[in-house]
Structure 1
Amino acid sequence: MEKNNRVIHHPILGDLKFRSLINFKFNEKVYSGFEGETIAAALLASGVRTLRCQEETGTPRGIYCNIGHCYECRVQVDGVLGVRACLTPIKEGMAVRSGEKLPAPFKKEGDA
């Protein structure tokens, strides 16, 4: 069964109303989220913490700022590289892949 770490009752906002359930894939596994949620929010609620690997070291990366400034949450969406998961709403049938070893932005000295 899929994890669900969503807030369903907020101490100030009260009971939160959810919208239509949407299914999408992340690395070939089906996840669900609610209409209007971002990729990052839906994956986080499902227990997914790693969205990509750092370009040079391969260390895991996930959600950092969650407001579109840091680019740590870059994923591939329907074949498009470098999409920020924290800003992109999920869509039914969307295919998301982790950013595994994206090309490094700078070449090291001595690289061709």
Structure 2
Amino acid sequence: MSTLFESLDTLPSPMVRVAIDGTHRHVPSHYTIAAALLEGATPACRTTPVSGAPRGPFCMMGVCFDCLVEVDGVPNVQACTTRVRDGMQVRAMAGKARLA
């Protein structure tokens, strides 16, 4: 499977295990959730409430809110500003933002 992005060669980084929509992956601990999504060729992290169109990380700096995901049962987490951590459970969100 091809990926959208490739990571640059950097100093070795510890790996953590995260589950993205039920698929377990090992990613460097310095990644954000958005980086893990993009590297894994699964950039859609939510769908729009009106048309159901897929949305994914866009600005990568916490401004646009297109990268909202559910993390460990908490909805509306910005994937681009949240670092991965071992055991994290990430799920795509469908439709409009939800209250916890």
Tell me the TM-score normalised to structure 1 length.
0.78
1:47 is matched with: 41
Does residue 35 in structure 1 map to residue 29 in structure 2?
A: yes
Unaligned runs of 5+ in 2: none
Alignment partner for residue 20 of structure 1, among 14, 19, 34? 14
TM superposition shift of 1:5? 3.8
Q: Between the two proteins, what is the percent identity of the paired residues?
A: 32
What is the alpha-carbon root mean square deviation over aligned residues?
Answer: 2.1
The alignment partner of 2:94 has SS state of coil
TM superposition shift of 1:18? 3.3
Amino acid at match of 2:6: R
Contact 2:68 2:76 in 1 (8 A): yes
1:109 is matched with: none
Amino acid at match of 1:17: L
Contact 1:52 1:98 in 2 (8 A): yes
The alignment partner of 1:72 has SS state of coil
TM superposition shift of 1:94? 0.4
Contact 2:75 2:97 in 1 (8 A): no
The alignment partner of 2:34 has SS state of helix
1:1-112 alignment runs, 5 A limit? 5-8=5-8, 15-103=9-97
Please identify the structure whose Cα radius of gyration is greater: 1
The alignment partner of 2:24 has SS state of strand
Amino acid at match of 1:99: M
After superposing on structure 2, the runs of 4+ consecutive aligned residues of structure 1 that deviate more than 3 Å are: 1-5
Aligned residues: 98
Tell me the TM-score normalised to structure 2 length.
0.86
